[in-house]
């Protein structure tokens, strides 16, 4: 477990190096390396918590992902200033693999340019590795350049972790939430000045209820 969590902790650095970032970005990456042991420790603790919660679900017989139609009920029904489209989704169960997703798009039309916000909710109840592969932000990761930034933030909700990403030039933002070691929520918006509107969308969702499942 230690080797796996330490590897996950190094993923952001690996990404920076592979993309050939500038010297200042590599300096920030070096600072990240200094924090890596503590991050790996926190990730291991999180993995143990996730395993314990999963074992409790198995005892309850809760081993299949929620059907996408039920999952859609947790999507926001409206966003002020935006028109809601019909939600979409799918559920797949196969040989112990259970996965369900629900999405909804919201559009704000104005002239030749339209703004869009898309909310996706994923239930990966039987795919613990999917969560661990995606949530290296559990330990307080941050990175910023002239073009974009990535940073974690405190949601104030138990077992709800979040990562904030913003492309400064493209005006495109994305916030991703890990909820209850079971759900992933991705909220993406374009032509926005910051990610506040995306975080407000998340606040309108039943995060605490999802985290208790």
pLDDT, position 210: 94
Range scoring the smallest mean pLDDT among 11-25, 163-177, 179-193: 11-25
| pLDDT score for 120 | 98
Give yes or no for residue 171 having a pLDDT over 90.
yes
**Boundaries of every domain in the chain:** 63-211
**Tens digit of pLDDT for each residue in 69-87?**
999 999 999 999 999 999 9
Top pLDDT among 113 and 91 is at 91
**Quick check: pTM over 0.85?**
no
| Residue 180 structure tokens | 């209850």
pLDDT at 19 over 50: no
pLDDT reading at 175 higher than 90: yes
Give the pLDDT confidence of 45-74 residue by residue, as tens digits: 656 666 666 666 666 655 688 899 999 999
CATH entry, 63-211, from 3.40.1000.70, 3.40.50.360, 3.10.310.40, 3.90.1720.10: 3.40.1000.70
Mean pLDDT of the chain: 78
How many Å apart are CA 200 and CA 21, to the nearest integer?
Answer: 32
Q: Pick the residue with more confidence: 134 or 96?
A: 96
Instruction: Of 10-19, 102-111, 194-203, give the lowest mean pLDDT range.
Output: 10-19
- Per-residue pLDDT, averaged over 84-105, amounts to 91
% of the chain at pLDDT higher than 70:
62
Output b/e per residue, 24-53; b: 16+ Cβ within 10 A.
ebeebbeebeeebeebbebbbebbeebeeb
pLDDT (0 to 100) of residue 181: 84
The answer to whether 136 touches 8, Cβ cutoff 8 Å, is yes
């Amino acid at each position: 477990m230690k080797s796996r969590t330490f590897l996950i902790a190094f993923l952001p650095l690996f990404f920076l190096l592979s993309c050939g970032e500038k010297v200042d970005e590599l300096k920030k990456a070096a600072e990240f390396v200094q924090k890596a042991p503590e991050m790996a420790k926190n990730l291991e603790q999180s993995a143990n918590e996730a395993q314990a919660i999963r074992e409790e679900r198995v005892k309850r017989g809760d081993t299949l992902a929620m059907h996408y139609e039920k999952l859609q009920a947790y999507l926001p029904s409206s966003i002020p200033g935006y028109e809601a489209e019909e939600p979409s989704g799918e559920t797949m169960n196969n040989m112990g693999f259970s996965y369900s997703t629900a999405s909804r798009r919201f559009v704000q039309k104005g002239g030749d340019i339209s703004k869009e916000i898309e909310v996706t909710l994923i239930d990966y109840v039987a795919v613990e590795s999917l969560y661990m592969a995606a949530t290296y932000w559990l330990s307080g990761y941050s990175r910023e350049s002239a073009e974009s930034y990535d940073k974690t933030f405190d949601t104030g909700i138990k077992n709800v972790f979040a990562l904030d990403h913003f492309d400064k030039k493209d005006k495109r933002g994305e916030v991703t939430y890990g909820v209850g070691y079971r759900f992933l929520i991705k909220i993406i918006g374009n032509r926005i000045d910051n990610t506040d509107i995306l975080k407000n969308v998340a606040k309108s969702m039943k995060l605490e209820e999802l985290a208790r499942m």
